[in-house]
Amino acid sequence: MTEADQGPGAAAARFTGRPVTGERPGSGALTEVVLDGGRVVMVKRGDEPGSLRAEAAGLRWLADAGAVRVPAVHGHDEHWLVTDRVRPGRSGAEAAARFGRELASLHAAGAPAFGAPPPGGPEDAYIGLAPMRNVAGEDWPSWYGEHRVLPYVRRAVDDGTLRSTEATLFERVCERLPELAGPAEPPARLHGDLWNGNVLWGADGHAWLIDPAAHGGHRETDLAMLHLFGCPHLDRVLAGYQEAAPLADGWRDRIGLHQLFPLLVHTVLFGGGYAGQALASARAALAA
């Protein structure tokens, strides 16, 4: 029997060193496993090569910043990732403002370069189910265009989701990125896939981050993703962030520019509706 066939309970026992007393199916590839003594861990099944290695390295890198809460990693292999379970709570204005301050601290922990993978993480990583390459670049505009916009535009054209004539719109945005990007900033330590589903509100009154696509990037990208997919009390999150680390002038005008990346990823994964949103954001960026 291979490790992949042993199941989530066996993986939890192997990585925690504790007997397993029960399992509860979670969402998607997740299973809640109860250990002897009542502790609950989350076991995630992964089938894409390197995906769980990238996720585990990302979780540890985010945790090393000592800023936002991140579930502890008990272990992983090519098929299974075992982490602590976050005890669920409720979002609130106070917790949201605290999350904003903690997110600012996470970003300020920095990265060696734009596109730098977490220590021990692979260059060929994932954002959700989409491949994502973590290749270092010297400046954000050229790196963002080359490694976060154009690869997904090309794939969308190959898939028939975008027309070649529409691809030229994104190419024009990339050409103008040096003037559109705003003031230069150092690489931030990004979660990288910061939509609402990856922010858990814990019983301890803090926000917890899961499922990162962590890399060095521009801090406005994480915030733009929170805007795109929504977040409870987002105004309070932003107020807390601004209190801790004010954003550069004009950041609201650049939200659509930073949303190109997640919108194009979703275009590749889910199709045409997101292509329309990505095209609208590109047009708005060029009109700025």
Give me the CATH number covering residue 120: 3.90.1200.10
For 216-239, the pLDDT digits (tens) are 999 999 999 999 988 999 999 999
Same domain, 143 and 278: yes
For 171, counting Cβ atoms within 10 Å of its Cβ (0-12 exposed, 13-18 middle, 19+ buried), the class is middle
Q: What is the residue-averaged pLDDT of the chain?
A: 95
Average pLDDT over residues 27-37: 93
Single residue among 84, 101, 129 that ends a domain in this structure: 84
Q: How far is it between the farthest Cα atoms of the chain?
A: 61
pLDDT at 73: 98
pLDDT above 70 (res 275): yes
Single residue among 84, 108, 141 that ends a domain in this structure: 84
Same domain, 132 and 186: yes
Average pLDDT over residues 256-285: 95
Please enumerate in sequence order all residues whose Cβ is within 8 A of that of 244, keeping only pairs 6 or more positions apart, or say none: 100, 101, 104, 105
Same domain, 146 and 279: yes
Same domain, 37 and 128: no
pLDDT at 1: 47
Q: Which of 22-26, 60-64, 278-282 has the lowest mean pLDDT?
A: 22-26
Same domain, 58 and 117: no
Same domain, 22 and 114: no
Percent of the chain with pLDDT over 90: 92
pLDDT above 80 (res 156): yes
Distance CA 186, CA 282 (A): 24
Give the range of the structural domain holding residue 181, as residue numbers without chain letter. Answer: 93-287
Same domain, 25 and 148: no
Average pLDDT over residues 260-286: 94
Distance CA 42, CA 56 (A): 13
Distance CA 40, CA 9 (A): 11
Same domain, 146 and 54: no
Split into its structural domains, the chain has a count of 2
pLDDT at 2: 58
**Contact assessment for residue 66 and residue 206, using Cβ atoms and an 8 Å cutoff:** no
Q: What is the DSSP string of 216-259?
A: EE-HHHHHHHHHHH--TTHHHHHHHHHHHSPPPTTGGGGHHHHH
For 93-119, the pLDDT digits (tens) are 999 999 999 999 999 999 999 999 999
Same domain, 121 and 38: no
pLDDT at 4: 54
Same domain, 201 and 253: yes
Same domain, 24 and 146: no
pLDDT-derived band at 270, boundaries 50, 70, 90? very high
Read off the CATH number of the domain in which 28 is found. Answer: 3.30.200.20
Same domain, 170 and 108: yes
pLDDT at 5: 58
Residues annotated catalytic, as ranges: 193
